[in-house]
Structure 1
Amino acid sequence: MDYDRILAREQRQMEEIRQLDLEELQVEEVDDDSSGDDRDATGRRTSDDYAFDTCLASLHTYLGEVEDTHHRVAFLDGGAVLKLPIFYLEGVVLFPEATLPLRVIQPNFVLSVERALTQVDAPYTIGVIRVFRDPDNGRIRFANVGTTAEIRQYRRLEDGSLNVVTRGQQRFRLRRRWIDVEGAPCGEVQIIQEDIPLRAPRDAFGDLAPFSNPRGHNFSVKLPLNDSRAESNGSMDVDNDAETNSDESFESALSLTEREVHQSAIGSYSGSDTMEESTTSSSDDEKSHLQLQSKDSDSSDSLHSCPEISNADLVSSSMSDMQSCKQKEPNKCWRNTDLNQFRRVPRAFWPHWVYRMYDSYCLAQRAADMWKDIVGAPSMDHLVKKPDLLSFYIASKIPVSESTRQELLEIDGISYRLRREIELLQSFDLIRCKTCQTIIARRSNMLVMSSEGPLGAYVNPGGHVHEIMTFYKANGLALIGPPRSEYSWFPGYAWTITNCAGCETHMGWLFTATKKNLKPKYFWGIRSSQVSDDLH
């Protein structure tokens, strides 16, 4: 079937939807010109344009009544090795704190859930592993890193199947897997020891401030001739050219993303560490070049014993020179000095912006700000002080392919995971079909229809779990069949299967409102498993 015929069929089916019920199934034509639409500067619809309760989607009401287990799993120690029932899911990457609904139909997986409810070592816990097909040979592959899932709600149906709602707990590495004698998938897993969020390490600060300064000042430090260190080493002049060359060589070794973080850190560093100029000028005979403090002297003494710092010279004073200055002119000695500027001088061996590149809390704030600008809701301000949880939240909700999200799951360091997420938030724009690379949507077309974010996991009546990202506008999709309202993941909306117009691969669904006053009137759900890894 060629492309023109698919488009003609799509238009015909859209017309049929309108004719079903002009008041209840209206599909708006979306114009590229959004001047008349209620959207903010980023292209997202404003909150006034919503009537749908986004909390309903996260409750998974389509599963019917499920009973709470009233059991909360205690966290296992990092490095612990244990045996768990394993769920192998295609197209799903589970992260800690993320919700995963399951419709358990196969007898072997039903047995796995029943074992999890009664096991002693980790009760109410299963292991979730992503499986995928190797694109080269089509073989089934198993990921090495997965997440434990706590069974929070479940219900046994008359046909023996189970409806289960789980929540991600801890990452683990799969050491080995097997099928037991009764046919239940099992695995030996080792809980991953999560690292502690990093701050700029104060204990790494040196005794003296580094000569390198991001603002590019030409600081010259001269030693008096009667200093024994000056006689052996000569005068020490820190040339600004050497500093600039050092900074340029450092930048050249960085990636594009790291260089942008670098420049941003320099900007914030310069604003906070600026040394103020003296408000009162002094005569030349009042200025003197003072001795450098020895390396074994106390850093606090060296920082608070200097009588004067200007933008032309960075000087340090010995205690004997300071005492002499105080005896001669005690008032004039300190009149041009702001003590706060010494506290702002960086004492680390590396400039402060280098540490900020790996400071988990600085990266968390940057990632949260970017998420707010790009996605909008829900707000993650409450997670900025918990960089580990924020990194998992972004990884579980960022609308990228499942293989990219599996990559995020396997990153161990919090700061490294946040830096990768910042890079993804900066770079991803186009949503393409994984099979034929047809452009399906853009980043600016994202729509948040769940309180948990723009991407979530949902399960169909056949037990297949789909992770979908939601958009208010999509292109190149053909509708298959009439809209249906039963078992809808979004209460109040009917769903219609959509295929890629280029390759006829199942891409997702069109959701249309079944009530006149329900907004938005329609939106699209795109499967993350069918999204290309190409983010540009």
Structure 2
Amino acid sequence: MDEERILESERLQIEQIRQLDLEELQVEEVDDQDSSDDEQDPTARTATHDEFNFNTSIVSLHTYLGEVDDTHHRTAFLDGGAILNLPLFYFEGVVLFPGATLPLRVIQSNFIAAVERALGQVDVPYTIGVIRIYRDPHNLRIKLATVGTTAEIRQYRRLEDGSLNVVTRGQQRFRLRRHWIDVDGVPCGEVQIINEDLPLRTPRDAFGRLAPLSNLPSCLLASKNSHAQMLRSKTGETESEEDSDESFENGLSLTERRIHQSLTSSSYEHEMTDGSASSDDEFTYESDQEVRSNPNDRDSMRTLLSNSGKETEMDSRIGNCSTSGKQSYKVELFRNCRKNTDAYPSRRISRAFWPHWVYLMFDSYCLAQRAADLWKQIVGAPNMDGLLKKPDHLSFLIASKLPVSESTRQELLEIDGISYRLRREIELLESINLIRCKNCRTIIARRSDMLVMSSEGPLGAYVNPGGYVHEIMTLLKANGLALQGPAVTEFSWFPGYAWTITNCAACETQMGWLFTATNRKLKPGSFWGIRSSQVAEETR
């Protein structure tokens, strides 16, 4: 009965907060002419029920830490493969990406010594290593991740009690080779900087400038072409160039495919060596080479014609001719068939080894455009268009701001290859829907409930007075959460808002905080901050 009264009182608190918001809406009116501005400003679009007037750029400054001094130091990027020793900071529930900001409240003496050592390092000054720790689900032992990120100390301030306020920024990924505690109690690690690959782009000569090659002779394609057209006419489907290129070779038999590939490759090699040759001379040269390189082509050709129902008297005459005669007949046959294939333009393929869509799967710039478009549709802010020419930076930025579980974020950090990371992020952006409690899998919110309260995105790292770093995702509304304790304004991560601890109503796990505006004119009037470490891995 006591628990029911507590839950009921907490529900009343939430209703009172929402009632305040409704009262404010009755006073203020929103002009319809501002709708076009909302489309351009994603932060205004996310707050669908209230006018959004909160300054999101303040949050990224971490003003709750007080005054911090700029170190005026910027570390040059280290060469890939370099091995060095760094002071280590390890966190549970935090994954740092290159380019992301990580605030620290350093209280423990061993970590204070680690910061001081980093400030005085000669080879890589002002640099620490940040790595995630987690509990093994089988034996519950603490383990360190294999991939972390170097962090440069950008701002620093020593307080009167000896503690430190530090703001760092992620630099480069590394692999942890080994770790230890030195005589001063400082956690250290030997790390190797990961050699990042360059963004991939579709080869310029794969498409566009090169003319397509003809496929097999039209006499072999007529029956397949007419049959395919008949099927499409029945189903009402249309054939695109990419579909025809892809499905044609899959429909060939092993013998047909071998001859098709040999013709394609030999023709390509000849044009690369002698681009001035005429089409007829080029084909004669390729056919002669095929006859000389593979004496079994005569049997293969007879088999092809026989299987397609097109065996003619010319084929039987091939076997009764001399060697030179066989070559002449075969060259003549292929030359005539090649001329006939021009009547079937849909059966012409690119000289590229793979279809165009295969190259697009690994084109970092095309993937970056697709990821940026999805981000704009689903999340909105920050705008990713400025990073389209830097797919590597964009992939890290999206990974650092995706509202997913910490284990999924660690997975993104460990992916080598820009195109692979972007493809995984696109998959997550398309599939993210439900946000669930990690313990009981209660649905807390949906993707449409995300709210961008920081200029850096809907997910960010913040540190509390006790030195614990939390990565939280901000939501406009949430379900199944119970409030615990009063609202507190001290050390608030969001200026102008008071925070209240919230637990999962089903399993009583601390899920995050409810932030309520201290000024009724501040919009949104309330929002939720959910810890990514308490979000279930499956978010679909």
Partner of 2:394: 390
Residues 220-278 of structure 1 show CA distances to partners (whole Å, capped at 9, x for unaligned) of: 635xxxxxxxxxxxx7648757998xxxxxxxxxxxxxxxxxxxxx98968xxxxxxxx
C-alpha contact 2:47 2:524 (8 A) present in aligned 1: no
Q: CA deviation at 1:28?
A: 9.0
1:511 aligns to 2:515 (yes or no)? yes
Change in Cα spacing, 1:486 to 1:320, as seen in structure 2 (3 Å) is closer
The residue type equivalent to 2:499 in the other structure is W
Of residues 431, 440, 443 in structure 2, which corresponds to 1:427? 431
Question: Partner of 1:508: helix, strand, or coil?
Answer: strand
What residue in structure 2 maps to residue 173 of structure 1? Answer: 175
Deviations 1:316-371 (A, max 9, x none): 554899xxxxxxxxxxxxxxxxxxx99x9732021111111111111110100000
SS of residue in 2 equivalent to 1:297: helix
Q: Please, which moves more after superposition, 200-209 or 58-67?
A: 200-209
Alignment of 1:40-51 (within 5 A): 44-45=46-47, 49-51=51-53
Residue in structure 2 matched with residue 160 of structure 1 by the alignment: 162
Residue matched to 1:70: 72
* CA shift digits 1:53-100 (9 cap, x unpaired): 000110000000000000001000000000000001111000000000
Q: How does 1:243-392 map to 2 (within 5 A)?
A: 294-299=267-272, 317-318=280-281, 346-392=350-396
Distance 2:9 2:50 in 1: 34
Compared with structure 1, are the counterparts of its residues 475 and 268 closer, same or farther at alpha carbon in structure 2 (3 Å cutoff)? farther
SS of residue in 1 equivalent to 2:115? helix
Which has the larger displacement, 412-421 or 345-354? 345-354
Structure 1: distance between partners of 2:224 and 2:199: 35
How is 1:478-493 mapped onto 2 (pairs within 5 angstroms)? 478-493=482-497
Give the distance between the partners of 1:395 and 1:54, measured in 2 at CA. 20
SS in 2 for 1:154: strand
Give how far 1:52 is off. Answer: 0.5
RMSD: 3.8
Taking the aligned partners of 1:184 and 1:242, their CA distance within structure 2 comes to 75
What stretches of structure 1 of length at least 5 have no aligned partner? 30-37, 212-218, 223-234, 245-265, 271-290, 307-315, 322-340
Unaligned runs of 5+ in 2: 27-34, 229-238, 244-262, 285-344
How far apart, CA to CA, are the structure 1 residues paired with 2:62 and 2:468? 15
Aligned mates of 2:133, 2:223 — CA distance in 1: 57
Cα distance in structure 1, aligned partners of 2:120 and 2:200: 38
Which amino acid in 1 is paired with 2:101? T
Query: What code does the residue aligned with 1:221 have?
Result: P
> Partner residue of 2:8?
8
Partner of 1:329: none
Query: What is the number of residues matched between the two proteins?
Result: 440
What displacement does 1:384 show?
1.0
* Gap change, CA 1:298 and 1:512, over 3 Å in 2: same
Q: How far apart are residue 516 of structure 1 and its match?
A: 1.9
CA distance in 2, matches of 1:243, 1:122: 68
Identity of aligned residues (%): 68
Per-residue CA shift, 1:120-147, capped at 9, x if unaligned?
A: 1110000001011122222111100000
The Cα of 1:47 is off from its aligned counterpart by 11
> 2:225, 2:8 → 1: CA distance?
66
* Aligned counterparts of 2:412 and 2:530: Cα–Cα separation in 1: 20
1:436 aligned residue (410, 425, 440) = 440
Q: Deviations over 1:150-207 (max 9, x none)?
A: 0000100000000000000000000000000010000000000000110113466798
Rounded Cα–Cα distance in structure 1 between residues aligned with 2:226 and 2:513: 60
Name the residue aligned to 1:221.
Answer: 217
Contact 2:17 2:526 in 1 (8 A): no
Separation in structure 1 between the aligned mates of residue 7 and residue 195 of structure 2, nearest angstrom: 52
* Aligned equivalents of 1:114, 1:137: Cα separation in 2: 35
Q: Per-residue deviation at 1:44?
A: 2.9
Cα distance in 1, alignment partners of residues 227 and 495 from structure 2? 62
Match of 2:100 in 1: 98
SS at match of 1:377: coil
**Paired position in structure 1 for 2:147:** 145
Q: Any residues of structure 2 matched to 1:520-535 within 5 Å, and which? A: 520-535=524-539
Contact 2:503 2:512 in 1 (8 A): yes
Distance between the aligned counterparts of 1:242 and 1:369, measured in 2? 40
Aligned AA (1:11): R
Instruction: Supply the distance in 2 between the matched residues of 1:242 and 1:119 (Cα, whole angstroms).
Output: 74
Determine if contact 2:97/2:149 at 8 Å carries over to the other structure: yes
Task: Output one character per residue of 1:25-68: Cα deviation in whole Å (capped at 9) or x when no partner.
Answer: 98999xxxxxxxx8979983369821100001100000000000
Match for 2:217: what amino acid? V
Write the letter of the residue equivalent to 1:513: A
Instruction: State the partner residue of 2:212.
Output: 209
Given residue 91 of structure 1, which amino acid in structure 2 is its aligned partner? G
- Distance of 1:447 and 1:152 partners within structure 2: 28
Contact 2:101 2:170 in 1 (8 A): yes
SS class of match (2:440): coil
Cα 1:269–1:197 shift into 2, 3 Å: farther
1:358–1:415 CA contact under 8 A, matched in 2: yes
Residue 459 of structure 1 corresponds to which residue in structure 2?
A: 463
Report the equivalent of 1:110.
112
Amino acid across the alignment from 1:55: S
Letter in 1 for 2:353: F
Q: CA deviation at 1:441?
A: 0.4
Larger Rg: 2
Secondary structure of the structure 1 residue equivalent to 2:84: strand
1:49-88 equivalence runs, <5 A? 49-88=51-90
**SS across alignment from 2:270:** coil
The 8 Å contact of residues 50 and 524 in structure 2, kept in 1 or not, is answered as no
8 A contact 1:9–1:478 mirrored in 2: no
